[in-house]
A and B are shown apart, each in its own frame.
Chain A
């Protein structure tokens, strides 16, 4: 168990640019989640995959956000035409589908939009 890995750790971009983040889940986990966390808040759900299928998306997720999980392994989260309000920590988590299985989080990608 090498844990959930996220890349990059930090990203600074100018408003209007596109950014892409990568997440590698724990290999045995078939569920993968993306959350967003702003300062002083708990994680907010963005989207969820079971294997390669994206089963749920939050209403918070605007059309500028897209996530993929090809082949049910790693996942990418892309933000197009970034806005200053997108500045946040983007957390990836994975879990098994066993009953009451907890989320295992990566260390996150901190996005700063200038």
Chain B
């Protein structure tokens, strides 16, 4: 079935370090891919999305490229800040017009000054 696998956390980085959070997916069709961020005590917020192969989603310095050949959607940021400390979730929607969303287990990021 359709699913998402994220790298295990937690991840701890120093401020201004480079961030990569790996995400791979399994899907039978042509899914849309998303990254969500969750700050303590809050719901999930959409960070970025990509809807077809080779699309790059970007927002707030974060980027992720939809790689169909490697079924991946890794999240990257060139220089993290303390305010980026949160839990990051990779998600997919298998059908562009459908209603199903599948989430990874989340990767906790802590950025230290």
Residue positions of A touching B, CB distance < 8 A = 4, 6, 31, 33, 40-45, 48, 50, 55-56, 91, 93, 97, 99-100, 102-108
The verdict on A104 contacting B97 (CB below 8 Å), with A42-B104, A42-B105 known, is no
Q: How far is the CB of B43 from chain A (nearest CB, A)?
A: 4
Partner of A45, one of B97, B101, B105: B101
How long is the Cα–Cα vector from A100 to B46 in the complex, in angstroms? Answer: 13
Docked Cα-Cα span, A4 to B43, in Å, equals 10
Query: Which residues of A have CB within 8 Å of B51?
Result: 99-100
Top 7 nearest A-B pairs (CB, nearest first) are: A42-B103, A105-B43, A100-B32, A100-B51, A105-B44, A107-B43, A99-B96
Interface residues in B, total, Cβ within 8 A: 23
Chain B residues closer than 8 Å to A93, beta-carbon distance: 43-44
Closest to A107 in B: B43
Within 8 A of A (CB), among B65-113: 89, 91, 93, 96-97, 99-101, 103-106
Residues of A within 8 Å of B49, CB to CB, are 100, 102
CA distance A93 to B76 in the complex (A): 26
Bound complex: CA A99 to CA B99 (Å): 10
B46 CB to closest chain A CB (Å) equals 5
Picked from B44, B99, B101, B105, the residue with its CB within 8 Å of the CB of A40 is B105
